[in-house]
Structure 1
Amino acid sequence: MMSSTLRTLMAGYQITYFIFISSLLVHTHSADNIYSAEMPQTVTALTGSCVQIPCTFNISNFEDKRKTAKSIYGIWLKNKSQFADEDSFIAFNSSKNIIRGFSDVQMTGNLSESNCTTVFYNIMMNHSDSYYFRLEMEPNVFRATFNPSTDVSRKTVRINVRDSPQPPELKPNDLKVMEETTVNLICSAEAPCPKQPPTISWSNIPESAHITTQLQEKPDKNQSVFSYMTFKASYKDHRRNISCTATYPRNTPVASTVETIVMLRVLFPPKGTCVIITPSVGTNVTLTCKSRASPSNDLNYTWYKHGEEKPIAWGMKINLTKTQNQIGSYHCIAQNKYGKQSSEEAQCAVKGQSGLSHLVIYGCTGGLLAFVLLSAVFFYYMRTKASRQAHVIGSDQAEDKNRDTTAIYTNNATAISKNDEKKETDELHYGEIDFSKLQTGHKTREHSNNGPETEYSELQVTERKKQINSAQKMDELYAQVQKK
């Protein structure tokens, strides 16, 4: 009884020991063959261009295996991961330089450095599929296909082929900034074919913009072209549509061009506040307060009249009619949550109908009086000017007449002396001449004791021309008296 029990216990220990040893061996074998690969789950290719699949792998004790192996090969399988399956499609096999379904395939990565990056050229639409990477280290050191269906740590990649590229990505896509702040805008375009990367251009950008562009690798190992633009936001750039354009070269007659647009929204207080009067003068006038601000939906307007401290109205527009009978200067203040601004004062002439009539009457009367006054001044000036000219002319003519008259009266005096030789005892009298009477039209007479009476005609001055003749005659009379 005891012996049978011992035999049973011994048998149990043996089985347990065997299971332990077996599990240890299995675990050691599995640990010796742990492997994984890192590659993007999806890459997007453009027809007529190439596509690069970034790929790295990790194998336990790889350095020891690499030293043991005489050669390392990389294989890409399409659609299925079973290498030995008759239906499996080998797109590329570096061991035999097999290329199927592609014009060219190049493994740019160094397999000895755990890099399996591969470039597929001249991509066509039928190349869209899942691709599996397989590594073989010969002779019989390591052979495995990195298949995600058996282990989540092992990955594969899917190539999606498109006729047109994806539009570039703009960040931030909601570009709302404060005035005078520095803005950093990033435009990125995928570069599935690094040997033919897209070119990025900007349009409708602010004047202060500074741009730098470079090719970079993203966290998923794919590459993209990044263009960075920096500028200072101005209120003048509000609602500016900034566009980023990516141009993809490919083996087709026409390159592919795609763009992305983002609207720049700048937040700023009111700018350019002013008052617009329509019409400028009249019986019904509308005053409008104009201002530019962002945001504009919460813009408030307050109206003031010159000389009054309290506001007279609120709102964008105010109406002044003839019943109000208001004349004065008005200004408005525009305000949003970022600040406020006051307009310049605007002179508004608004009168009722009667007041307007009085203004017209007063204006006409004043204009008539001004016309009469100017006319009087003009005639006075012309008369004075003519009088001065007449005086100058009269003086010149008087000098000439004096010379002629002297000669004439000299001859007359000689004749008179011959006729009056018998009257030597007669006394000579000089007549008295009143020049003021000559100018006013009175008669002047000259008497002699024995001689005949000399009478001079009356001089009547009615015009400026007669004044000149009067002056000449006075000179002649004076000369006759002197001779007598």
Structure 2
Amino acid sequence: MPQTVTALTGSCVQIPCTFNISNFEETRDKAKSVNGIWLKNKSQFHHGDSFIAFNSSKNIINGFSDIQMTGNLSERNCTTVFYNIMMNHSDVYYFRLEMEPAFKATFNPDKDGSRKTVLITVKDSPQPPELKRTDLKAVMEETTVSLSCSAEAPCPKHPPTISWTNIPESAHITTQLQEKPDKTLSVFSNMTFKASYMDHKKNISCTATYPRKTSNDSTVETTVTLRVLFPPKETHITIDPSASVSVNTNVTLTCKSKASPSGEMNYTWYKRGQEMPIAQGKKISFIVTHNNTGSYFCIAENKHGKQSSAEIQLPVEGENGFSRHVIYGCTGGLLAFVLLSAVLFYCMRIKTSSQAGVIGRDQATDKNSDMVAIYANSSIAISKKSEKKETDDLHYGEIDFSKLQTADMTREHSNSGPQTEYAEIQLTGRNNKNQKC
């Protein structure tokens, strides 16, 4: 038997047990029955203070809701399961074998000091799972890593479940119930994956959940931190100040990179167009002038490799001594001028249209006034004319017909000289009366 078994309250506990005595087969064949007994606290079976927890011969169960001997005593297997373990069940237990009538004995400590007993320790919370790695040291990138998580299964009928958190994408997991050297059972979960630089310093957790007859299941976990060795990754440059840089600005360029180990990093700075490095170290600072404008890049290196950053152009603004602020200012001023001109033109056009409307209305008014005056004068003239016609009804006139009647008149003139002719003329007035003159 294992010397110690840890049980969880509200669950069960299995005691793996085997035995061996001299001439067992011969004694077994002569025996009428083979029975197993579990004693609590004391090994003396007939002692008055002895506590018999279980006796298979009489099916006696004391102090427990249920005890079952799952092993076959005829095959020297005395494995037993104690159900619904409580805190008061913590104690030392002895196994006694009785083969009537030839053999009756309780397994006690041997002369060499080894104990033939089991100590059942009952706890309210389970032990955290055990998390192991095949290689406890840091592993190189792209190598295979194996993690093993084991959780004790004191109650094989209700073993704990194991889950993983924060696992790598390439992880492969297998889980099974296995027997340990002391014959107790545990749930083993193995995870294998290919190490990536993104797994460096990652905390991977193994969680064991124990079902039991309580309000809540018990959950415990264990965490391990990975260490992965890899060359520089994601190398890039940051600039301070981060805003737009112009000529005569004091700037600081910083070369950043992910690598392991990070304490052994070297940084080298280059300027495009120059073969030799211009500086060493993680940071460089200088004042931007027309002479040092251009493209810069850095190379990060450790013992596993190196990587170059993308180029950064300096200055961001102020190329050839002409600031972008000036360009933006001129552009903004030009746009403002165009917008203002358009507004002024629109306002003048509206004003002109308004004045034209007023003048048109004035001219129309004057014209109407003139027309009224003309019509008034005409009315007066017509009235006066009418009055005159009405007053002077008779008009006299002298008409010379000499040109119209030449032949007749010649004859008349030759006889009697010039003579006056009178004619009757009809005039039609407003009163449509015939008048004679």
Same fold flag (TM > 0.5): yes
Cα 1:358–1:73 shift into 2, 3 Å? closer
Once the two structures are TM-superposed, the CA of residue 153 in structure 1 deviates from its matched residue by 5.0
Q: Given the alignment of the two structures, is residue 159 of structure 1 paired with residue 120 of structure 2, yes or no?
A: yes
Percent identical across equivalent pairs? Answer: 74
Describe the superposition over 1:207-241 as per-residue Cα deviations: whole angstroms up to 9, x where unpaired: 11111111110011110011111111111222222
Query: What TM-score does the superposition give when structure 1 sets the normalisation length?
Result: 0.63
Q: Is the 8 A contact 1:196 1:249 kept in 2?
A: yes
User: Which amino acid in 1 is paired with 2:322?
Assistant: L
Unaligned runs of 5+ in 1: 1-38, 372-484
Residue identity in the other structure for 1:162: K
The reply to whether residue 331 of structure 1 matches residue 297 of structure 2 is yes
Q: Give, in angstroms, the shift of residue 145 of structure 1.
A: 1.1
Is the CA contact 1:249–1:256 (under 8 Å) kept in the aligned structure 2?
A: yes
- Does residue 288 (structure 1) correspond to residue 251 (structure 2)? The answer is no
Post-superposition Cα deviations, 1:170-226, rounded to whole Å, max 9, x if no partner, equal: 112947321111111111110000011011111221111111111110011110011
Aligned to 1:60: 22
Instruction: Provide the secondary structure at the position in 1 that maps to 2:26.
Output: helix
In 2, the alpha carbon distance for the partners of 1:242 and 1:315 equals: 34
Report the AA paired with residue 178 of structure 1: M
Relative to its length, the structure with more helix (as a share) is: 1
Q: State the partner residue of 1:231.
A: 193
Which residue in 1 is equivalent to 2:108?
A: 147
Q: Structure 2: any 5+ residue segments left out of the alignment? A: 335-437
**Helix, strand or coil for the counterpart of 1:180?**
coil
1:77–1:132 Cα contact (<8 Å) kept:
yes
TM superposition score normalised by structure 2: 0.70
Comparing 247-256 and 276-285, the one that deviates more:
276-285
Counterpart secondary structure, 1:311: coil
Question: What are the Cα deviations for residues 129-164 of structure 1, in whole angstroms up to 9, with x where unaligned?
Answer: 11011111111x112111116553552110000000
* Contact 1:45/1:192, CA 8 A, preserved across alignment: yes
1:124 maps to: 86
C-alpha RMSD over aligned residues: 2.4
CA deviation string 1:10-65 (max 9, x = no partner) = xxxxxxxxxxxxxxxxxxxxxxxxxxxxx101000000000000000111111111
Q: Give the 5 Å matches for 1:327-366.
A: 327-349=293-315, 359=322
Matched residues in 2 for 1:82 and 1:271: separation? 71
Change (3 A) 1:258 1:182: same
Structure 2 counterpart of 1:16: none
Moved over 4 A (4+): 322-325, 355-358
SS, match of residue 226 in structure 1: strand
Once residues 359 and 47 of structure 1 are traced to their aligned partners in structure 2, the CA distance between those partners, rounded to angstroms, is: 80
CA distance in 1, matches of 2:228, 2:145: 11
User: Contact 1:189–1:226 (CA<8 Å) still a contact in 2?
Assistant: yes
Deviations 1:436-470 (A, max 9, x none): xxxxxxxxxxxxxxxxxxxxxxxxxxxxxxxxxxx
Q: CA 1:85 to 1:48, structure 2 compared with 1: closer, same or farther past 3 Å?
A: same
Alignment of 1:19-98 (within 5 A): 39-98=1-60
User: Which of 228, 235, 252 in structure 1 is aligned with 2:214?
Assistant: 252
Counterpart AA for 2:271: K
How many residues of Structure 1 are paired with residues of Structure 2 in the alignment?
Answer: 324
For residue 160 of structure 1, give the secondary structure of its aligned residue in structure 2: strand
Query: Which residue of the partner structure matches residue 179 of structure 1?
Result: 141
CA displacement at 1:308 relative to structure 2: 2.6
Measured in 2, the distance between the counterparts of 1:223 and 1:360 equals 77
Answer whether contact 2:290 2:321 (CA < 8 A) is retained: no
Q: Return the offset for 1:323.
A: 7.4
Secondary structure of 1:96's aligned partner: coil
* Alignment partner of 1:275 out of 234, 237, 249: 237
Distance 1:122 1:358, change over 3 A: closer
| Aligned counterpart, 1:298 | 264
Map of 2:283 onto structure 1: 317
Alpha-carbon distance in 2 for matches of 1:253, 1:205: 30
Go from structure 1 to structure 2 and tell me whether the alpha carbon gap of 1:85 and 1:358 turns closer, same or farther (over 3 Å shift): closer
SS at match of 1:59: coil
Change in CA separation of 1:73 and 1:359 when aligned onto 2, cut-off 3 Å: same
CA contact (8 A) 1:174 1:262 kept: no
331 and 360 in structure 1: CA distance in 2 versus 1, 3 angstrom threshold: closer
Match of 2:407 in 1: none
Check 1:206–1:89 CA distance in 2 against 1; reply closer, same or farther (3 A cut): same
Structure 1 residues 307 and 88 mapped into 2: Cα distance closer, same or farther (>3 Å)? same
SS of the aligned residue for 2:71 comes to coil
Q: Deviations over 1:345-372 (max 9, x none)?
A: 2222399xxx9895359x88xx99xx9x
2:301·2:307 contact (CA, 8 Å) conserved in 1? Answer: yes
| Post-superposition offset of 1:310 | 2.6
CA–CA distance in 1 between the matches of 2:316 and 2:162?
Answer: 60
Structure 2 CA distance, aligned partners of 1:65 and 1:78? 27
